[in-house]
Amino acid sequence: MRTKNKILDMPAPKKACDDVNCPFHGTLKVRGKTFTGTVISDKMQKSVLVQWEGQRFVPKYERYKKTRSKVVAHLPPCLDVSVGDLVKIAECKPISKTKNFVVLGVVGEESVRSKVKKEALKDSERSGVKVSESPKGSDDNKMTVEEKAVEDDQPVSDDSEESSGVSEDS
């Protein structure tokens, strides 16, 4: 089979494959739209789920809203792609019922900020702690004496109520 050196400024992978639906080593032609997105799932055979985010203007409110798009893309065996990688995908002929795109290559990795954010959410879900997204001045962020003691790893004593200046004798 003939190998194509470049497709849409993406160099050919070093590994070779015998996949018919590989744009570099097979007969699949790339045409139409191209996107750059993050791989969010690679649990399927020869397929990945790619997501990218964008903004759309809403004229009624004169604001932008976040939009997300998910697409199933064919993954040739010559490419090594894992969850969190930033990949370039291109439109091609329909490969199956849901696959109309093919992965051309890895552009980079997901940003560090979004990785840390996802890990924090997973950790909070595991530990059962509610992550508060309220502003600093709200009443949700006021801690009781017991919560402060737990945070500082100090034992909670009954004297804390008496030291606050409130007496029950009056």
Give mean pLDDT, residues 24-48: 91
Kindly report the CATH class assigned to 6-112.
mainly beta
CA atoms within 13 A on the CB side of 88: 15
CB 67 within 8 A of CB 54: yes
Biggest alpha carbon–alpha carbon distance for the chain:
95
Chain-centroid distance, C-alpha 127? 21
Q: What is the pLDDT of residues 131-144, one digit of tens each?
A: 555 444 545 555 56
Integer Cα distance of 22 and 104 in angstroms: 9
The ranges assigned to domains in the chain are: 6-112
- Where is average pLDDT lowest: 22-31, 66-75, 118-127? 118-127
